[in-house]
Structure 1
């Protein structure tokens, strides 16, 4: 067991302290111009500070059988983090008085006077125990050892670290443990759910202060102690509660499909591409745990990210067979694709030999008919392709459609042409 005086309240200020003109003490790292120091100075007379007691010269009695004063019985006061007791001891040093009081100290604690100093009748021995607290500076947490009576004094000491400094409470279930008293001689503000409540007794623990303010903690809520924002406020520190919620969110995103081209050696290169299979979009599903702090998103941790529906590629078929360049050969092949062979092919050959001589640029100056099938006007063939004026395949495709729609077959068109001299 370390000592009966050690409490769970963390103390602030591992730095040296000096005595102020009014008898109190102040940390060397703070300046009297800061808001926190102004409050500390106003209350310094009520706070027992860690003071340095000058070493006194031991007195001795002169004469036969004289006993040195250092071994005489002395009554001293031992103050451990504000808890005092009177001890009577024959110890000659401060360390001896601490042993007599059952107080153990180590290099993280602050003791005044120094343990090696002589002990005198009526001496005050002040001990400030070191405690490990979690400090968040500009959003970055770290563990530090401090000696201080309360969070107010701790924040004074830590003010030199930056503008945004707070003490962070540890959480266990619905409890919050700060490891240090909030303010031994002043009120405390409780800030939660956009409301601020002042609790008069800041010496109570964080749980007691929250209960007084009627604030219940959720399992994930964060609790910290910061300087109050209002310079005119009675409280020097604020116990701040941040509501934390973790929501699992699922989002889906469409995945585009690819277009894949395949070749067909039975089709001509100038044949229109054929869609063999339509493409379908896929989906990607992401599940994430989103952390909300006071309703605002702080972070998002991905739990899973997978393709739930694979996209289906669009398949397009293009011909690779070169079409003959001779218009009549092209016409014979395209007519055969419709089943017009033999006598039907002969009727078609007779018809277009008469009309244009199978010339793609045949132009009738009297009627504006144009091309192999003598389309009237020639621009009608644009329905088969923008290259209608020069491409024999485009002209033949249009001409074959025209014959099928108007006469049923090449021989029907040829018979009509023979009777009326046009078709």
Structure 2
């Protein structure tokens, strides 16, 4: 996979009243944008009060397809959805909406805040089309890129090719890599704010596969077959998803399929945002607000997002395993 790391540009800090706050992926802003509620200080504010943790993920590659509902067309977006590119301190993101009129409406939909000394081109009242590129230069902020690991899962697969009671490691596990680009503001060595612009799963984790023998003591070696096996949850979030599926009548294979898809799509981070498409959340729904059909807390609640994911797989592919098989062929679903 190509290296997406960029040289980090540095902007001169102007004053303490010029701290910015941008959070396209932060759930609270996403909820505000989805509801269409904008305060009188939505676009301009004078001071930031905290630092956001850098934890966002998104698709395996920025160009990955995104999800909507079973009755929608390619990429899952509504027919009326528009795409406008916003470049912030040289880093590009995509804002989705259905009622763009001017630059201000794009920033509103993307949850983008401006400080008084930030520059915006074209102006806020300029009418926009899908060919419009909005450029924002932040005062006093650096664009920085960081990588963090994504845990791998252990998958146990039964096989008659091994004697009963024996085990064999078929594939060693490997952590994935998540790359996040953030706007970071510092006062000396102290980080005042660190807010993600874009992020994606640069390298998906590789499962550790263990073969569990079920055969007699005298069998020849051979393939374990195409079984999805039993996946061991690697986090509290995955444990909840596992228990939810099994209590709802699904199988261990369904959970294995779900883990594989979400590991590659978002790394199991509920505030994931794709840098190219704007797809959001665990299932990378496009736009994320489609998950409101599963609950009003869609932007922050991984349980709501996972339930939407299950419903989407069933409606579009007939099952979670159906979505998994499609993903293996198309690297999207």
- TM norm structure 2: 0.29
TM-score by length of 1: 0.23
| Structure with more of its chain in strand, by fraction | 1
